[in-house]
Amino acid sequence: MSRLSRISGVALALVGAIAVGGIAVHRREPVNSLWIITAAVCIYLLGYRFYGAWIATRVLRVDPSRATPAERLNNGRDFVPTHRMIVFGHHFAAIAGPGPLVGPTLAAQFGYLPGTLWILVGAVLGGCVQDMTILLLSTRRDGRSLGQMARDELGPFGGFAALIGTLLIMIILSAVLGLVIVNVMKHSPWATATVCGTIPAALAVGLYLRLLRPGRVLEATLLGVSLMLVALFAGGWVDHQQALRPLFDYPALALAAFVIGYGLCAAVLPVWLLLAPRDYLSTFLKLGTVVLLAIAIVITHPQIRMPALTSFTDGSGPLFGGKVFPFVFITIACGAISGFHALIASGTSPKLISSEADVRLVGYGSMALESFVAIMALIAATLLDPGVYFAINTGAGVLGATPEAAVRTISGWGFPVTVEQMRALAAAMGEHTLFARSGGAPSLAVGMASIFGSSFGRGFLALWYHFAVMFEAVFVMATLDAATRVGRFMLQDLLGHAWEPLGRTSWYPSVLFASTVTVAAWGYFLYVGVIDPNGGVNILWPLFGISNQMLAGIALAVATGIIVKSGRPRHALVTGLPLAWITLVTTTAAWQKVMSPDVRIGFFAAAHDLAHKLAAGALTAERAAIAPQLIFNQRLDGVLTILFTTVLWFVILDMLWVCARRLLGLPLRSLSEAPYRPSRLGAALLEGHP
Amino acid sequence: MMTLRARLGVLWALLRTLSGDDAYERYRAHQALHHPLEPLMSRRAFARDAEQRKWSGVSRCC
């Protein structure tokens, strides 16, 4: 290491230590978000420079002289050696999803500290390591997928577990995202009109790219982004027309039906018409908004108003029940470590890597940036008055029916808030009400609007709020479409074993059937979430977190198994320790969700309690009507939780079996690495080099 | 030292590659260099082929 690099490393460590120290001494008084931003950036850079580099050279033994699949199998289409900054951009765009925006917002009920710590520690020691390791392992295996690697290296069970796990995550993810969108549009004509307006915008882009100018992505994006801004302003105009407002003012159930119908259309319509153009637009909007938000946070550097720790760490939190351990980890999920990323890191990205040396930037670097997005979402949630934060995010069932009752409930928790304050805030944001808008998205939009508003003009708060809503909606719907489509493919793959024609991805009856089943599956969870008086997010998000962490566990188990098989058992701790932690957290959370006698935590306890009340006639007629569905859903969620945990443990046992055989010197499947071939690529010859 | 014009040119090229705007040009260059005798897909056919590949696997995360 050169002297300059050493000096800058020491400087980074110093600045980081000062920032962390700053947060530590500012207890009992508001801390400025700039401390958190500084500490985060320093920790990512240190992790990248030292831990990431050490893993790349010592554990993964990255070899720049080795030809990558992009070079060996170069076909100018999917295998293309590409400049590392371009791969970084593609990889980040693919892994960045709505999870790191929602999770930290919900986890803020524990205070800003637990979430911040896990986002930073979990990413640097867990998430970044997982993404980089899987990326390298897949690059060494011709870009094979996580499921294929699990099958080749551990055995057929591992591959099957990865497939089932992914399919279930897709379903839970789509349901929870649908719920987030419904809660944003509920009785909000502006938001509903704008979100509806983005659909024709996507269609126009699809037609433009298909019929007029194929492949001219930038022109089409310019068209699409302009149309979306038109939708934003048109929504505001609709909101002021008394005749038009009722046309876009719907209760949650109607909006859920709309989202389900939309999901089905997106799944059966040709990709080029709706799915692909929406994806382009969402990527641009996403990257643009993330950059804008980072700039705005640095400009305004707001005070964090949420305390470091709230009394809800004891498990009594109103957003969702459960103690800070293990539920802060389950709730943050994607912002620290996301199993889903392993699918991307073993998908398109390894086919573009031109040199093994690039895996640190692409794998470790992208995840660090993604984790930074989670930190920004946490800041946007915690800069709100805690009273306001709880008023927006708590379900109506907990808050009470009237604004006065809600305000009493929240003030009773020690977070004063008034009806006037909430009314003025709703009016400033151009909304009818902001009480009980759970799901995380409305509160994030309020936070983003106040950040944007104080950086770029206070007068446009309502516009910024709905811009944030549009950003979230486009983002969420693009993920919803993509997840439904992947779910459909996986289902067809499974059904094809039963009856061959069902496995044909281009046979229309099969497409229609598999799409309907996939949409019905997530539509069911969305429906129950909407009718649930507690908002539904309190049930679905922990379930999603557990499923996502289970997939991370599978990915880390595959990585650990391969490192041990390569004959370096001590180095396997690099992925083995995060695996142990993830397993501990997921299993504890699952245990509590299944076994806890507390009705706010245990699925079966809640089902039992509701069944008891129903039988005793203690419910109002309205609640009694939906109770059987809620009871069934709680039991189903309990069974799913058991399934997730069992799958994870089987994969871990499979991995431990492989490791034991390796250490005892018994025969094993050999490593499925592609043989070494020297690289002939000079950096200047790279295609796509700017 | 690069002139401002050259710098903007680099940025523009980067943006085009990142968004996939120049994917067809890159494919054409690749074919000309490595497989000059193979038939070349039209821009339209290439765009369809790229879409097909992109949307038959996991391409987006939570």
Chain A window 272-291: which residues touch B at a Cβ cutoff of 8 Å?
272, 275-276, 279-280, 284
- Is A340 part of the contact surface with chain B (CB cutoff 8 Å)? yes
Average pLDDT over residues A456-468: 88
Flag whether pLDDT at A690 surpasses 50: no
Cα distance between residue A651 and residue A161, in whole Å: 7
Residue A682: per-residue pLDDT: 65
Residues of A in contact with B55 (CB under 8 A): 271, 275-276, 485
pLDDT tens, residue by residue, A625-651 = 999 999 999 999 999 999 999 999 999
Question: Which segments in chain B show pLDDT lower than 50?
Answer: none
Task: Give CA torsion, residues A22, A24, A26, A29, to 10 deg.
Answer: 150
Residue A281 contacts residue A202 (beta carbons within 8 Å): yes
Is the Cβ of A336 closer than 8 Å to some Cβ of chain B? no
Mean pLDDT taken over chain B: 87
- The complex scores an ipTM of 0.90
pLDDT of A142 higher than 50: yes
The pLDDT confidence band at residue A222, using thresholds 50, 70 and 90, is very high
Chain A residues close to B48, C-beta within 8 Å: 214, 272
Q: Does A488 touch chain B (CB under 8 A)?
A: no
Cβ B50–A77 below 8 Å, yes or no? Answer: yes
The Cα of B1 is separated from the nearest Cα of chain A by a number of Å equal to: 17
Choose, out of A486, A550, A686, the residue to mutate when testing the contact with B (most B CBs < 10 Å): A486
Averaged confidence pLDDT in chain A: 92
A304: part of which helix (H) or strand (E)?
strand A303-304
Given a cut of 50, whether residue A684 has pLDDT beyond it is no
Minimum distance, in Å, between the CA of residue B58 and any CA atom of chain A: 6
Return d(Cα A331, Cα A317) in angstroms, integer. 13
Adjacent-strand bridge partners of A31: A304
Class of the CATH-defined domain A3-71+114-187+250-664: mainly alpha
Q: A678: which strand partners?
A: A66
Q: Do A338 and B10 touch (CB under 8 A)?
A: no
**What pLDDT was estimated at residue A397?**
86
**If pLDDT is split at 50, 70 and 90, which confidence band does A248 have?**
very high
CB contact under 8 A, A145 and B57: yes
> How would you classify residue A421: left for phi > 0, otherwise alpha for psi between -120 and 50, otherwise beta?
alpha
Q: Does the beta carbon of A211 lie under 8 angstroms from any beta carbon of chain B?
A: no
pLDDT of residue A61 exceeding 80, the answer is yes
Q: Tell me the percentage of chain A whose pLDDT exceeds 70.
A: 98
- CB contacts < 8 A (A, B): 120
pLDDT at position A689 is 45
Q: Which of A371, A313, A294, A304 is nearest to A112 (CA)?
A: A304
The token pair at A92 is 């980040």
Q: Give the whole-angstrom CA distance, residue A526 versus residue A190.
A: 22
β-bridge mates for residue A66, sequence order: A678
Bridge partners of A304, per DSSP, are A31
pLDDT higher than 90, residue A6: no
Q: What is the pLDDT of residues A595-606, one digit of tens each?
A: 999 999 999 999
Lowest mean per-residue pLDDT among A9-18, A85-94, A583-592: A9-18
Q: What angle do CA A183, A393, A339 make, to 5 degrees?
A: 80
Residues 6+ apart with CB under 8 A from A252: A182, A183, A186, A530
pLDDT tens per residue across span A334-358: 999 999 999 999 988 999 999 999 9
What backbone phi and psi angles, to 5 degrees, belong to B25?
Answer: -60, -40
Give the pTM: 0.94
